[in-house]
Amino acid sequence: MSECIGINTDRLLLRSIRPDDAAALFRYRSDAVINKYQGWIPKTIDDVYDFIENRISPTIDLINTWYQFGIILKERFEFIGDVGIHFLDEQKKQVEIGCTLDFYYQGKGFATEALIRIIKYVFFDLDKHIVVAYIDPENIKSIALVERIGFKKDKLFKESNSKYREWPDDLVYSIIKEDWIARDCSPRH
């Protein structure tokens, strides 16, 4: 049975993605130009149903699976983006994150607000130790996003295993819980 998790920020509700989000997700995720650095670009709405029903986990914190939150703008009850958490490693308590916003809602701080809250949830509710992000070196907006919230560049991952083009490089960014707390940008409540 799938879990439904809901987390609030000032402007947003971050909640588990559901099949009835498919149309909204398809609208912004299917744009291959805006999402050129993404590994998954749906061609039909059935691809989105398959993604929600079969390719992401209905349960949070399962190793080797992605859990996906929708980003809902509370003021308009509008679904404007998504945040994925990839549970990588139990021992090192390591997760990967990724975020996509509808182009219309970019440039307003919504991704920053969503990620800060999700990372807080990952560190304090799920008790993880490190959050990483794999980013194409040309994906300027994503680099700005993670640097804005305190991630540091670890390394260039040559010929990383992404699917959107052949043998791309990825930058690996990360933040550990201790540094997140020290930055004091993340009150616990």
- Footprint on this chain of ligand COA (rule: CB under 6 A): 34-35, 37-38, 98-101, 106-112, 139, 141-142, 144-145
Gap between the Cα atoms of 69 and 56, Å rounded: 10
Q: Based on CB atoms, which residue is closest to ligand COA, 2 or 150?
A: 150
CB atoms within 10 A of CB 115: 24
Query: What is the nearest approach in angstroms of ligand COA to the Cβ of residue 160?
Result: 12
Query: What is the nearest approach in angstroms of ligand COA to the Cβ of residue 169?
Result: 14
Q: Based on CB atoms, which residue is closest to ligand COA, 2 or 164?
A: 164
Cβ-closest position to ligand COA: 109
Q: Based on CB atoms, which residue is closest to ligand COA, 78 or 127?
A: 78
CB atoms within 10 A of CB 28: 20
CB atoms within 10 A of CB 178: 11
Q: Based on CB atoms, which residue is closest to ligand COA, 4 or 32?
A: 32
> Which residue do the tokens 């992000």 mark?
133
Question: Are the beta carbons of 11 and 110 closer than 8 angstroms?
Answer: yes
Instruction: With CA atoms as reference, report the closest residue to 128 among 138, 137, 136, 118.
Output: 118
Query: What is the nearest approach in angstroms of ligand COA to the Cβ of residue 1?
Result: 29
